[in-house]
Structure 1
């Protein structure tokens, strides 16, 4: 407000005050009278007492004082605004003319352990516009024709209410250069339309490690609400806004805080309607930190290709399957070197949003539910891969000794003929020690163990306790979301889970115990859990927390800012070192003694291998194929576990995935061909 306006307002106040006085005086024209008897000297028409004229005079004085006080206050405020707070109000005026909007920051890259990019960013030309353009129907329709997009789609993108009105709204990404050139050459026809260069996620190796890496997408309303929850706030937490691109699964989600960059800022001028009329100073965005994983690209490729090979072999053997998992661990520190899940997941389909049709397909049973990372979320019967733990439990509690034997005729009748059970080899194995029971996966040996625990009053759940001590029935703590815990069933669980059954039917019985002793029945495990178990067996009982994070690379690219330190998860239970050595020796025997066909795949390796096959059974489905190994036998370093759903016997499908991974690690591919037969379980 300038001085002229202040003078005008002050003059107006004085005029109003005079007019008020005149009006009030005219309301009583007979206030004075003439004394005709004593001349022309005026006299008061009434006496000096408490008359109506005196009262009116008092009220007029009070009114005048009140009016004066009001105008004095107004004058003081005007003076304050002009002389004292002029800078403050000038600042408010400027704020009403400008807005500060944020600009997106490139996400950090995801690298393998050797620095090879698994996920990076690529520049893309983007056509963007301010929301006010939506009111210009002619320009919007012209733009839609040039982009080859439906008019309503272009208008909806321009109006996008996930972003502020003053932000540039993405209309189309990855626009052809010829289209960009046309828009720029005819800029007068495309007011409030701009071409900007932004970045999008790029996957150099396609769908490789798609489940592990995860995908990004626009932040959801649920994620924004969770952010506002005080309980989830902490120092350094990124304040997200509607429209931000964030990690949704896998590493992209788990390490969002590292990968998410720091937004830039752009100051824009706006008119009274809020439409952008110009731009001024800007602060550039800072890219997120690069994240280096424990994954080795060559081993990851071997896991993916090996799993595909195993599935192909299963199909050749008459099994209709496309589902499975393969995991490779470093047993000395818990690093995940490779992790594959089938059907594969291509993260690139989520760039720019995924259609309902594609989303439904990704979650369809007919498509094999490709959204599931079966390595950590798939829950399966462990089959014979659990037999080493059953042996350790039996040795610890004296249920079965190192020299004890079982006579396997192919049909076990430990609970009577009516409750008899077959060995997988119906012709029988003959006399079996515990060590040879592991080597040949002889079921009656482990039926005897289950029966022993069922009748053991001192340790009726010694078998379950052994399983739990090696981590079964609980999550491994892997730094990937969606991990399943599996299940170790016992009497309490059965009673509660089948609560609608009769009391006799939900009572834990001998058949339940013999089932879990061979990895069948109600026991559930994940491929990662079993890989950790075998890592513990190879490593003297010690299991590390499995992880994919190795380090975070500083934003300037010079060195690592955060490095993962291995964490011991647990120490598996066993009574004596000799017990563990018996189990290890039995696992080596599985590879080289159980079947000559099976051994032929591993004798071509320069290192000695130990492991176990497994064949899970499920009603109305084909057998589930398991194979788990560790190597070298004398100085363990690697564990490889594979599962093929409905793939047949372990040695007829999953073996090939495991052998292909070992071949990639040691540079010694499998030369045996597809020779393994049904004689190996």
Structure 2
């Protein structure tokens, strides 16, 4: 409105000036002229013809008409601006003086299946300031002294525009209440400094389930760039610089549920863009709380079990190290517990992680604790794959339930020069598939692999059976960075070792005997093997493992969405019942008949158990120990799988973790001491 008034006044002044000029010109035009020779007395002009006076009079009228038209247009425009379009120009003027900035929204909580908070939110006080405070070095230095921060650090935070130029810039987070109270009591000493109430992630159980829940961090430039390519996806969240987003685990995978809707704050700015006042605000809307399939009790048992296994490994002379433990509900795919070792503290990411800690978390020497080895670790399967090899032999007829092998410790089925040891160097004697699974007799499965290689047909039936049970592909678990594993065959070897000679690249009988016992180039993840054993327990039906149980309703009353279990695959065999019977019996007898020492640990459980140990070899490292079991044997519900890197024999180092988890499930802890010495493979 002030600008319009100035225009009107300027127009009036200009109009008066022009009229005055015209009147002045008028005084020197007309019927009289001055006699410049005989004094100043006027004398009459001669007639009304085409004289200089008449011409001036015509030009004056023309000029008057033009000026009148111009001012008519100016007056019309001024009237239009003042009366007709005033609202429009008022809006433009207001827009130039205001900006809309966003305020962060609390993230949804992450709960276990019973509603116990694994990841919560806690109130946090932050010190904020607008960027123009950087022009006041006295206040900045005083603020730095009060906060106990370096002057340059405070200045950089004030000048940092990642949160937006008109947004209040975060100077410090998690400020002590005593510090906040001092600033509030002396607010006249801190002009332009504000106190903001925010929420930060809190972890009531510390590092519990850290690999499942993941961690959060400031949105990266790569993530901001990636969302530009996804603008067509109308359901996706649009991020801004400074937003806190999920970076791993459930925090990342279910970001769309956990991320809230930002609030809006209207601020007034001056000509330089500096904030001068705050106006109306729309509050932020928190993200949705989600329940996981995780049971805190079982999760704690998985993590404790890994620690027990690590202690046993060290006690028996092995270095131990990284490991994984997972518990599934085989009837629906629920992940009840998932532990990976070493672990990390997700709270170190709150408020930003230092470069030193980040380097430490990604250092090979520290075991790379950010890696979730349950879903991302890829290992030799060792003897845990022998039940699947048994299915293959029976399905394709190369090694039936009636076939027998004579294990003498040193197997020479491919010639003396290609001989292989059974893990029990003194030999098992005559064994078939069922007692071969029980005793983990390598000779039985060497013969099985050899028979596939020299078969007239279905020479890769072994690999086909592995794939039929889901190996070599992702399980589909709803967590990021899942490994695929590998089922090697002739085509893979030809491509993978392309720098080798043709003879070296050719698939051979030794390759087949290796993968039949879970060695060689085969790779699996713990979640793949747990899912496969869940399928064995369910007679061929595998459910997709998942960690999402439900999404809590906004009002906190009940669930707005509940995850529906999904069948991953169904394995159909030619003689389903008989083949399943052989494998089930072999796995059950492995627990109770293979080793008296092993059996004692399971006899006091209220249910019967079936399972398999495995011990893998890797060049230059100690033994890798596996143990997988399901229970109850006659009506399966739970599957527990454990792997310990360089921990020794699976029946020694990994079995205790599995037994500890089953003890937590059935409230029946193992009362026996783990003394080691069981070399079950």
Q: Scaled by the length of structure 2, what TM-score is found?
A: 0.94
Q: Displacement, 1:123?
A: 0.9
Residues in 1 aligned to 2:368 and 2:678: alpha-carbon distance in whole angstroms: 29
Alpha-carbon distance in structure 1 between the residues aligned to 2:34 and 2:456: 128
Tell me, what secondary structure is at the counterpart of 1:505? helix
User: Quick check: 1:380 aligned with 2:372?
Assistant: no
For the residues of structure 1 that align with 2:504 and 2:346, how far apart are their CA atoms? 47
Instruction: State the Cα deviation string for residues 175-230 of structure 1 (Å, max 9, x = none).
Output: 22221221111111111112222111000000000011000111111111222224
Counterpart CA distance in 2 for 1:625 and 1:149 is: 49
Looking at structure 1, the residues matched to 28 and 581 of structure 2 have their Cα atoms a distance apart, in angstroms, of 120
Which range moves more in the overlay, 18-27 or 259-268? Answer: 18-27
1:277 alignment counterpart: 276
Instruction: Give the 3 Å change call, closer, same or farther, for CA 586–676 of structure 1 in structure 2.
Output: farther
- For residues 657 and 24 of structure 1, do their structure 2 counterparts lie closer, same or farther at Cα, with a shift above 3 Å needed? farther
Aligned to 2:656: 656
- Relative to structure 1, the CA distance from residue 70 to residue 569 in structure 2 (aligned partners, 3 Å threshold; closer, same or farther) is farther
Aligned-residue offset at 1:391: 0.4
- What SS does the corresponding residue of 2:217 show, helix, strand or coil? strand
Closer, same or farther: CA 153–40 of 1 in aligned 2, 3 Å: closer
Stretch deviating more after TM superposition (524-533 or 398-407) = 398-407
Corresponding residue for 1:241?
A: 240
Cα distance in 1 between the residues matched to 2:671 and 2:644: 22
Structure 1 pair 441–61 and aligned structure 2 pair: CA distance change class (3 A): farther
- Which residue number in structure 2 is paired with residue 346 of structure 1? 345
Q: Which residue number in structure 1 is paired with residue 326 of structure 2? A: 327
Which residue does 1:133 correspond to in 2?
133
Partners of 1:538 and 1:679 in 2: CA distance: 25
- Distance of 1:185 and 1:615 partners within structure 2: 67
| Aligned twin of 2:40 | none
Q: Partners of 1:428 and 1:591 in 2: how far apart?
A: 20
Alignment gaps of 5+ in structure 1: 48-52
Question: Aligned partners of 1:384 and 1:316: how far apart in 2?
Answer: 24
Deviation at 1:496, TM superposition (A): 0.5
Aligned counterpart, 2:461: 462
In structure 1, the partner of 2:151 is 151
Cα distance change on mapping 1:188 and 1:404 into 2, 3 Å:
same
Residue 198 of structure 2: aligned partner: 198
Q: How many residues end up aligned between the 2 structures?
A: 672
Kindly provide the CA deviation profile for residues 126-172 of structure 1, in whole angstroms up to 9, marking residues without a partner as x. 22212211111010011101111111111111122111233222211
Aligned-residue offset at 1:673 = 1.2
Q: Which residue is equivalent to 1:41?
A: 46
Cα drift, residue 110 of structure 1: 0.5
2:360 corresponds to 1:356:
no
Hey, what does 1:296 align to over in structure 2? Answer: 295
Aligned to 2:401: 402
2:281 alignment partner, SS class: strand
Contact 2:625/2:643 (<8 A) preserved: yes
How far apart are residue 573 of structure 1 and its match? Answer: 4.1
Query: 1:103 touches 1:263 (CA, 8 Å); kept in 2?
Result: yes
> 2 CA distance for matches of 1:40 and 1:62?
23
Question: 2:652–2:679: 8 Å Cα contact kept in structure 1?
Answer: no
Moved more, 204-213 or 25-34: 25-34
Instruction: Please say if residues 334 and 566 of structure 1, whose CA atoms lie closer than 8 Å, have aligned partners that are also in contact.
Output: yes
Residue in 2 that maps onto 1:182 = 182
Q: Determine the C-alpha separation between the residues in 2 that align with 1:492 and 1:31.
A: 117
Tell me how far 1:387 sits from its aligned partner: 0.4
CA spacing shift, 1:5–1:435, aligned 2, 3 Å: closer
Are positions 1:8 and 2:39 aligned together? no
Corresponding residue for 1:568?
567
Distance 1:76 1:596, change over 3 A: same
**1:676 Cα deviation after fit:** 4.2
In 2: Cα distance, 1:314 partner to 1:62 partner: 110
Q: Which residue of 1 aligns with 2:615?
A: 615
* CA separation of 1:21 and 1:366: change in aligned 2, threshold 3 A: same
State the alpha-carbon separation in 1 of the partners of residues 58 and 614 from structure 2: 110
Distance in 2 separating the partners of 1:609 and 1:244: 49
Are the structure 2 counterparts of residues 7 and 144 from structure 1 closer, same or farther at C-alpha, using a change threshold of 3 Å?
Answer: closer
Cα separation, partners in 2 of 1:478 and 1:31, compared to 1, 3 Å: farther
1:584 aligns with 2:584: yes
Following TM superposition, by how much is the alpha carbon of 1:675 offset from its aligned partner in structure 2, in angstroms? 3.5
Structure 1 distance, partners of 2:57, 2:572, is 106
1:433 Cα deviation from its structure 2 partner: 1.3
Alpha carbons of structure 1 residues 247 and 62: separation in structure 2 relative to 1, 3 Å: farther
- Per-residue CA deviations over 1:448-489 (Å, capped at 9, x if unaligned) read 111111112310110000000100000000000000010000
Contact 2:32 2:45 in 1 (8 A): no
Q: Distance in 2 between matches of 1:660 and 1:428?
A: 32
Q: What is the distance in 1 between the residues matched to 2:349 and 2:670?
A: 37
| 8 Å contact from structure 1 (residues 336, 547) kept in 2 | yes
CA distance in 1, matches of 2:370, 2:338: 15
Distance 1:520 1:61 in 2: 110
Paired position in structure 1 for 2:38: none
Which string of whole-angstrom CA distances, capped at 9 and with x for unpartnered residues, describes residues 577-604 of structure 1? 1001100100001111111111111112
Alpha-carbon distance, 1:7 to partner:
5.5
Q: Secondary structure at the match of 2:479?
A: coil
278-287 or 330-339: bigger deviation: 278-287
- Residues 472-551 of structure 1: matches in 2 within 5 Å? 472-551=471-550
Q: Distance in 2 between matches of 1:524 and 1:131?
A: 54
- Give the equivalent residue in structure 1 for 2:173: 173
Shift of 1:555: 1.7
Instruction: State the superposition RMSD in angstroms.
Output: 2.7
Is 1:262 equivalent to 2:261 in the alignment? yes
Secondary structure class of the residue paired with 2:502: coil
Instruction: Tell me if structure 1 keeps the 8 A contact 2:30–2:57.
Output: no
Q: 1:412 to 1:258 in 2, by over 3 A?
A: same
Is 1:286 aligned to residue 291 of structure 2? no
Aligned equivalents of 1:137 and 1:573: distance in 2? 76
Q: Deviation per CA, 1:502-526: give whole Å up to 9, x if none.
A: 1111110111100000000000000
Tell me the residue number matched to 1:118: 118
Relative distance call for 1:116 and 1:230 in structure 2 (3 A) is closer
1:62 Cα deviation (Å)? Answer: 8.2
**TM-score with structure 1 length normalisation?**
0.94
Give the Cα–Cα distance (whole angstroms) in 1 for the partners of residues 490 and 573 of structure 2.
23
**What is residue 50 of structure 1 aligned with on the other side?**
none
For 2:58 and 2:467, the matched residues in 1 are separated by 97
1:19-168 superposed matches below 5 A: 41-42=46-47, 44=49, 70-168=70-168
Tell me the residue number matched to 1:674.
Answer: 674
CA shift, 1:232, in A, is 5.6
Deviation at 1:259, TM superposition (A): 1.1
Partner of 1:632: 632
Structure 1's 65 and 339: CA in aligned 2 closer, same or farther, altered over 3 A? farther
CA drift of 1:26 comes to: 12
Q: CA deviation at 1:567?
A: 0.3
Q: Which has the larger displacement, 566-575 or 645-654?
A: 566-575
Aligned mates of 1:309, 1:20 — CA distance in 2: 105
> How far 1:109 moved relative to its partner?
0.8
**Whole-angstrom CA distance in 1 between matches of 2:199 and 2:208:** 21
